[in-house]
Structure 1
Amino acid sequence: MKALIHPNYKIVTAICSCSAKFKVSTTKKIYIDVCSQCHSFYTGKNKKANIGGRIERFNKKFKY
């Protein structure tokens, strides 16, 4: 590898929106929106959209 052309990697703290902190190797501090502690795939908690209102509006609009 050539000298002085690659960025300096260091261990920094990645901070999630749920306040979880992780140590990662990167060039600068990063903020993430979703991590394994708050993502629904990993936690098993699924968020379902409320579609009842849409169906009611459709039926009201087309008089079903």
Structure 2
Amino acid sequence: MPKINIHPKWSEKTPVLCDGKPLCFIGSTKRELQVDTWLANHPFYTNSQVITDSEGRVEKFMKKYGLDKTGQ
């Protein structure tokens, strides 16, 4: 015989919040869901990415440890 009242309550309209603003409603066992990043504030989709300059890293490593570039 299955146990009674062991499953969490299911809510059909759980708000998904980002910075306190509701984004959408989904079904969940939680009362509300907090997210830090979503489509409208993600750097990739808002073209606000910071591209790091990784050029010269190998040369810097070789110079730091006194290695030559021929691999010997």
TM-score (norm 1): 0.52
Number of the residue aligned with 1:26: 27
Larger radius of gyration: 2
Consecutive unaligned residues of structure 2, counting only runs of 5 or more, are: 1-6
Structure 1 counterpart of 2:40, from 37, 40, 64: 37
Which protein has the bigger helix share? 1
Q: What value does the CA root-mean-square deviation take over the aligned residues?
A: 2.9
State the alpha-carbon separation in 2 of the partners of residues 51 and 33 from structure 1. 28
C-alpha contact (below 8 Å) 1:11/1:26 kept by paired residues: yes
Aligned residues: 57
Residues 12-53 of structure 1: CA distance to partner in whole angstroms, max 9, x if unpaired? 1422xxx26213223222122321122123211222124257
Q: Percent identity?
A: 23
Consecutive unaligned residues of structure 1, counting only runs of 5 or more, are: none
SS in structure 1 opposite 2:51? coil
Runs of 4+ in 1 over 4 A off after TM superposition: none
State the alpha-carbon separation in 2 of the partners of residues 20 and 45 from structure 1. 22
